[in-house]
Amino acid sequence: MNPEPPKDVVVDDKKINISNGDVNGTVVKLDDQLGAGFSDVEMKKIISEKKEDCSLNSVEVNKIGESNAKEVNHQIQSNGTNGYNNYMPAIKAQAHFPKPQPPPQPQPELERSQSVSPAESMPSIGKYIKDRSTTLSAAIIKRLSSLTEDGEDFVVKNDSLNLEVTEIKIPGVKVIVKLKSEDERFDLKGRITFFSRSNCRDCTAVRKFFRAKRLPYVEINIDVFPKRAKELVERTGKSEVPQIFFNEKLLGGLVTLNSLRNSGELDKRMRELLSQKCPDGAPKVPVYGFDDDEDEEEEEKDELLGIVKLLRQSLPIQDRLIKMKIVKNCFAGDDMLEVIIHHLDCGRKKGIETGRQLAQKHFIKHVFGENDFEEGRHFYRFLEHEPFITACFNFRISVNDSEPKSPSFLADKLARLMTAILEAYASDDRHHVDYYRIGKSEEFRRYLNLTRDLQRVDLQLLSPDERLAFFLNLYNAMAIHAVITIGHPEGILDRRAFFGDFQYVIGGYPYSLSVIQNGILRNNRKSPYSLVRPFGNGDRRLKFAPAKVNPLIHFGLCNGTRSSPTVRFFTAQGVEGELRGAAREYFQNGAIEINLDKRTVSLTRIIKWFSVDFGQEKDVLRWVMNYLDTTRAGLLTHLLSDGGPIHFVYQDYDWAGNL
């Protein structure tokens, strides 16, 4: 077998030439001997035979099994995709390097008629393993001691980062390099803080700069922490963002940051201002329990709350047999009307009007949804007694009895809050989302508080564009919440629970991911492989569905899988244009492939599942052409114009999580 030539590996602008070979076993860890740019080096040695534990002086040797090594490599590869991992991918040692060989052992001469029992052969096997381990240890120690000899090891320099990388030539060793962050290189003790807003391009540029330099920072998004906007003005004299602080000192905005970087003065300023521990006068880190939303403190009590509390205490709530059905936890409308008239000391007409107000504010519901509130023998339930309520993940023990907030305000706040979460905990291209950190974040806690305000919101007050953006954003936010709470769906049953059982109560009615997509956005069309529509006749949620289905909605919905469109949140003012941009990005990233020779078009399976929304296959191609780059649009035009047959195939859908 011909030996393979050495390979150069580039990791974060650093080229390293490392031997290639298999890795399965011992871990050797060096401290910081490879230059200022590295904090540690881990080396993993092939040991295919089972051997005893041994000590290599100051070198730490740990056995790991083949499965564990594969798992580690898999984690390194997957984590490296989001730009936050500081480890270099595993590299195999080169096969042509000599491998340690055990010293020759004198073997006793045996006659052909003699045989050695297994018990007699065990000591020699153990001795062989021990001798080989000793030889390996000596080889590694010899190599480690030779790292300082310039004549033997090749040194690769990286002028842009002002560091050196030493080539390590140890047979059968894998090297994992962890880059030092900027704060480690400069020994920074202070804190970088900057104020931001959601959907701010300059804030995004500052965030990308700090991430690229691997500098830890604290971001205070004033859309998430509105009370901090006052502090921003007090500290800077302006409300514009971003505003960057090194400890308590104001550095400035993006223009100042770029100026210092281009002039080479940024590192000097960082050493001057961040060499000391962050003082108390610096902007505080947002934490749980502080900087609560001013809206939470100023919540208004509903004017009908007094009557509601009285009704909850006075009405006989019990299970009843109505229309041959057992209806639980209900009360008679006549009984409620009498309590209202007696409490308000008013006439019957005023009492009926008050009952309708209670229904319109979603305090009570007709058990069969037949009316808001009417005089007669009708039966109603409080919202907290609805059968679906305990399955809704934005319900906490009791209904939010505060005065319902404006749906436009809540929709806008939802979009800004979730955008801030993505900016902080997703990769720049939004293909990878850190659900674990989102679930532990203060931003997500505030989102959960916001969802309680949706319980009795009046969605009829939203305009068509506001309603479209609201349900798109609600779907994407619920999908993130579902992944955090119940995890990514792995099989058919899990998907059914994920899309159908994870619900919010919105405006007094339950909404699942499937209901939002198929019942609302698709105007009550059947979901793939389903025989029934989401809503039955007379369902009051149908009034929120658009009059015409817009097929672009499928490219604005992210269900947390790798094959779904990237997660994003929309604005009511630009939702149509933003949907077109989402579709263009999705198709240009592999959702369509064209083979001119075979006259084959490969499309995303989303189009097959929801074909009724897109039309006939050739009509789909004409529609898709609006969202393709020039090259693919030209190929598609050629296929459609020559009159020949076109073969359609549909891509497999990857249900793995977008982690």
pLDDT in tens, 71-88: 444 444 444 444 444 433
Q: Which two tokens stand for residue 192?
A: 């970088």
pLDDT at residue 66 is higher than 60: no
CATH of 192-275, one of 1.10.645.10, 2.60.130.10, 3.40.30.10, 3.20.20.70: 3.40.30.10
Mean pLDDT of 326-344: 95
Residue whose C-alpha is closest to residue 367's, from 354, 378, 351: 378
- The vertex-550 CA angle with 545 and 553, nearest 5°, equals 90
Mean pLDDT of 521-550: 94
- Return the pLDDT at 175: 59
Give per-residue pLDDT as tens, 398-427. Answer: 899 999 999 999 999 999 999 999 999 999
Give per-residue pLDDT as tens, 157-191. Answer: 444 444 455 555 566 565 555 555 555 555 778 99
pLDDT at residue 455 is higher than 80: yes
3-state class (DSSP) for residue 74:
helix
- Return the pLDDT at 67: 46
Confidence of residue 293 (pLDDT cuts 50, 70, 90): low
CA gap 300, 405 in Å, rounded: 9
CATH number of 303-385: 1.10.10.10
3-state class (DSSP) for residue 558:
coil
pLDDT at residue 194 is higher than 80: yes
Q: Which two tokens stand for residue 83?
A: 């730009």
pLDDT at residue 110 is higher than 90: no
- Return the pLDDT at 592: 95
Helices (H), 596-658: 605-609, 611-614, 617-624, 630-641
User: 129-143, 203-217, 265-279, 447-461 — which is least confidently predicted?
Assistant: 129-143
What's the chain's average pLDDT? 80
Mean pLDDT of 269-290: 87
CA gap 539, 533 in Å, rounded: 11
Residue whose C-alpha is closest to residue 569's, from 585, 554, 558: 558
- Cβ neighbour number for residue 125 with a 10 Å cutoff: 12
Give per-residue pLDDT as tens, 380-398. Answer: 999 999 999 999 999 988 8
CA gap 334, 352 in Å, rounded: 10
Q: Where are the domains positioned within the chain?
A: 192-275, 303-385, 407-580, 586-650
Q: Which residue has the higher pLDDT, 530 or 105?
A: 530
- Per DSSP bridges, beta strands 600-603 and 647-650 are parallel
pLDDT at residue 561 is higher than 90: yes
- Return the pLDDT at 83: 40
